[in-house]
Structure 1
């Protein structure tokens, strides 16, 4: 196994990278910089990282390709279409009308095989996540003209992944350190039978907190352990911790499989005070990492079809 630095921030830059998505059609890694309010597209053939600055009020949280062209980006309560060449954003939908006891914004998310976008929420005005009140967030699904609240009593929504048969959705609630599992009906888009599939240790020295995640073709979960600088692989059926990958930064935020054979793991990171000020010239926080030689592979992530 080998861990290499794919991209790193310019000297002095403070980046919060999130939402990695491998775009098969262009062999590119998509991700967002939340603090820099930018979308990135790293091309494997040219080893170049294109950046589009986004003219938005709230930070972006995810980017996925859109079947009709361009990309979909979430920012604040809004889901927008991004035209890459011009950088222009066109609002498509908003969760503004969904009833909530607190002001929330969208956080991490992905699309299912029908092209629905699933995204969870976090409080809008809290910078220190330790101050987030429990159970005030929720999970939504988005299609054209239809937004559904699919699950509630979430504290800090984060990564998600479906099993190959799409019968189970795994979903991270970061603050309680839980990876939830739901039975999933891909035809109706309905969730049921909510349960806790994995629980992180209360001692955060070992694994930190669960953040973004992905799933491999064998059904194993690869979870970014923010605060611990690791990606951990679990068997969600047994709860067994199978392996961990250590990184030279503490703020590992998310991960996805990519590459020509979908056997490379791409890992984003962030430079945030609570994750530790362990910056060094070779591997500063806010870098993107590539892991090879894992002996595992993933399946291509789906695109937004609406």
Structure 2
């Protein structure tokens, strides 16, 4: 891939970085510092990085999702443990700021993992099973993928999930792609954009039957041609998959082992932003992989994506819920 450049953003390297989202109106990359329960916002034009610490009184251990709320300036939906919350975060806030979240919806699951909004602005957010102190999964097939609709009601869309992860939609809005990391596959569903209903699940790429070794499929996005770009945890790379054939057609190697998620951004959406983490790496591995936990900007791919969707609630209901 001649011309491809992998650059590290001048931001803190994280134990577990996740959830990248390009916010176009402020030209900033949003992402989360999972176990420090913080949301980060990097302004590419100035190099400024804001960090918003989420203070829920110590109830939860993780923050994994951040998406802007459309029509409600400076408001975001974040996941805090097993709860979807609203937080206000202004560009004029200090670079290190703390806020208390306001609850939107709560699940009985262990905690949320990945999530993003569909073309209609509904928030799809998946959970994962409980973990031990080392981050190892204790229970399989006990989590779910949920859809938060504009009326703030939550709908369970997929059950018997172990680690809900990457999700994205095809450019024609007819297909929904989904990853349960412990299933080691990328799955495809038929998708109804009007109703948000999904069905006819099938395996698009089986990692165990491919040449991906011990890689774990993680975060995912789609480009304008319909190809899927998938972060490979343990794999030091992002792969590009043709969903029509289920074949890996490109690979981008990265100087970080645990690659977690991806999103398109920049002025023309031709930059692929990639998060990573230090989680589960030994001291020896950390010494050999100094860029572990970095956030990257990959350019020169000759591909581009779409603007990311924010959450589009019924604004009266949202403002009432937030006490506005």
Structure showing the higher strand proportion among its residues: 1
Q: How has the CA–CA distance of structure 1 residues 179 and 126 changed in structure 2, closer, same or farther, with 3 Å as cutoff?
A: farther
- Structure 2: distance between partners of 1:215 and 1:176: 20
CA contact (8 A) 2:131 2:138 kept: no
| Counterpart position of 2:78 | 73
Secondary structure in 2 matching 1:41: strand
Secondary structure in 2 matching 1:257: strand
Structure showing the higher helix proportion among its residues: 2
| Counterpart position of 1:159 | 166
Q: How has the CA–CA distance of structure 1 residues 274 and 88 changed in structure 2, closer, same or farther, with 3 Å as cutoff?
A: same
Secondary structure in 2 matching 1:222: strand
- Structure 2: distance between partners of 1:125 and 1:220: 33
Secondary structure in 2 matching 1:165: coil
Q: How has the CA–CA distance of structure 1 residues 249 and 141 changed in structure 2, closer, same or farther, with 3 Å as cutoff?
A: same
Match of 1:266 among 240, 259, 273: 273
- Structure 2: distance between partners of 1:124 and 1:71: 26
TM-score by length of 1: 0.91
Residues 1:23 and 2:23 aligned together:
yes
Secondary structure in 2 matching 1:279: helix
Secondary structure in 2 matching 1:210: strand
- Structure 2: distance between partners of 1:87 and 1:272: 24
- Structure 2: distance between partners of 1:274 and 1:205: 19
Residues 1:82 and 2:84 aligned together:
no
Task: Report deviation, 1:83.
Answer: 1.1
Residues 1:301 and 2:308 aligned together:
yes
Secondary structure in 1 matching 2:182: coil
Q: How has the CA–CA distance of structure 1 residues 220 and 132 changed in structure 2, closer, same or farther, with 3 Å as cutoff?
A: farther
The one-character-per-residue Cα deviations of 1:223-278 (angstroms, maximum 9, x if unpaired) are: 00000110001101101111111111101100101000100000000011258853
CA contact (8 A) 2:205 2:247 kept: no
CA contact (8 A) 2:256 2:289 kept: no
Secondary structure in 1 matching 2:194: coil
Q: How has the CA–CA distance of structure 1 residues 276 and 184 changed in structure 2, closer, same or farther, with 3 Å as cutoff?
A: farther
Secondary structure in 2 matching 1:273: coil
Task: Report deviation, 1:126.
Answer: 3.7
Secondary structure in 2 matching 1:255: strand
| Counterpart position of 1:255 | 262
TM-score by length of 2: 0.86
Residues 1:50 and 2:50 aligned together:
yes
| Counterpart position of 2:128 | 122
- Cα RMSD (Å): 2.2
CA contact (8 A) 1:208 1:225 kept: yes
Residue range with higher mean Cα deviation, 54-63 or 158-167: 54-63
Unaligned runs of 5+ in 1: 98-102
Secondary structure in 2 matching 1:201: helix
CA contact (8 A) 1:269 1:285 kept: yes
- Structure 2: distance between partners of 1:190 and 1:275: 42
| Counterpart position of 1:96 | 107
| Counterpart position of 1:100 | none
CA contact (8 A) 1:9 1:284 kept: no
Q: How has the CA–CA distance of structure 1 residues 148 and 26 changed in structure 2, closer, same or farther, with 3 Å as cutoff?
A: same
Match of 2:142 among 128, 133, 136: 136
Match of 1:196 among 170, 188, 203: 203
Match of 1:288 among 275, 295, 302: 295
Q: How has the CA–CA distance of structure 1 residues 277 and 300 changed in structure 2, closer, same or farther, with 3 Å as cutoff?
A: farther
Secondary structure in 2 matching 1:7: coil
Unaligned runs of 5+ in 2: 314-324
Q: How has the CA–CA distance of structure 1 residues 115 and 36 changed in structure 2, closer, same or farther, with 3 Å as cutoff?
A: same
